[in-house]
């Protein structure tokens, strides 16, 4: 996990509170579950190591060995009995609190990515078992490349984290007037980065689906 924190980006989003909020490329709790699952469920009769591959727009956690006999890939996404290949390791991880319940890791990864507003992880059996996390376009690198101002970038990241942003939110987090906030938000809508809903006085802005 220390390796992951050193090698993925984090943005510090202004929220109006004394401390800025940290927004990682990928939710740390989802990555933690992927690593724990890899250690817990890998096939230790294979000499290969667990691998973490960090690419520009994705991150992949790969572990040796396919799913244990008795469980299929589609069954991972439904309520299913836990099939443990390494019962001793699983019990130790459960006893120290790193696993909360059997079979819960997949759902925690899916929930964490949904909450973070990034695509759902992709689970595959590819000469082993892998979990691939993908970035969305609403990350700092992409937003910088579009030529947005720092205050606009803060607004988009705020909308991603909180589901929406209003003119009043914009004024509060970047310390500008209502007129400036309206102009900046209008520009974000014109760029297809935000969408406006509601009438002008009660309007709010969400990430564009386009």
Q: In the chain, which segments carry CATH 1.10.10.10? A: 140-207
Give CA–CA dist 198/129, Å, rounded.
Answer: 45
CATH class of 26-134: alpha beta
| Distance in angstroms (rounded) separating the CA atoms of residues 61 and 31 | 8
**Which part of the chain has CATH 3.30.565.60?**
26-134
Question: What length does the chain have?
Answer: 210
Q: Does domain 140-207 have CATH number 1.10.3720.10?
A: no
Q: What angle do CA 40, 25, 111 make, to 5 degrees?
A: 55
Give the tokens for residue 109: 């990864």
Separation between Cα atoms, residue 33 and residue 98, nearest integer Å: 9
State how far the Cα of 86 lies from the Cα of 125, in Å rounded to an integer: 18
Other CB atoms within 10 Å distance of the CB of residue 174: 20
Per-residue pLDDT of the chain (210 residues), as tens digits, is: 999 989 988 777 666 666 666 777 899 999 999 999 999 999 999 999 999 999 888 999 999 998 887 788 888 777 666 778 899 999 999 899 888 776 678 888 999 988 887 888 999 998 899 999 988 777 787 888 889 999 999 999 999 888 899 999 999 999 999 999 999 999 999 998 999 988 777 789 998 866
């Amino acid at each position: 996990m220390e390796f992951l924190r050193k090698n993925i980006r984090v943005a510090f989003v202004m929220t109006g509170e004394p401390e800025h909020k940290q927004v990682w490329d990928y939710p740390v709790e989802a990555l933690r579950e992927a690593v724990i699952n890899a250690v817990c469920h890998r096939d230790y009769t294979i000499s290969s190591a667990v691998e973490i591959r960090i690419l520009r727009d994705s991150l992949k956690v790969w572990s040796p060995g396919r799913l244990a006999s008795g469980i299929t890939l589609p069954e991972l996404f439904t309520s299913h009995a836990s099939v443990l290949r390494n019962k001793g390791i699983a019990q130790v991880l459960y006893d120290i609190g790193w696993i909360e319940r059997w079979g819960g890791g997949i759902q925690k990864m899916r929930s964490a990515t949904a909450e973070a507003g990034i695509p759902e992880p992709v689970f595959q059996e590819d000469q082993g078992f892998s979990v691939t996390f993908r970035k969305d376009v609403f990350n700092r690198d992409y937003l910088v490349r579009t030529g947005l101002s720092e205050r606009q970038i803060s607004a988009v990241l705020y909308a991603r984290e909180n589901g929406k942003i209003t003119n009043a939110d914009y004024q509060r987090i970047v310390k500008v007037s209502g007129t400036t906030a309206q102009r900046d938000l209008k520009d974000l809508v014109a760029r297809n980065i935000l969408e406006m809903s509601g009438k002008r006085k009660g309007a709010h802005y969400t990430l564009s689906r386009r």
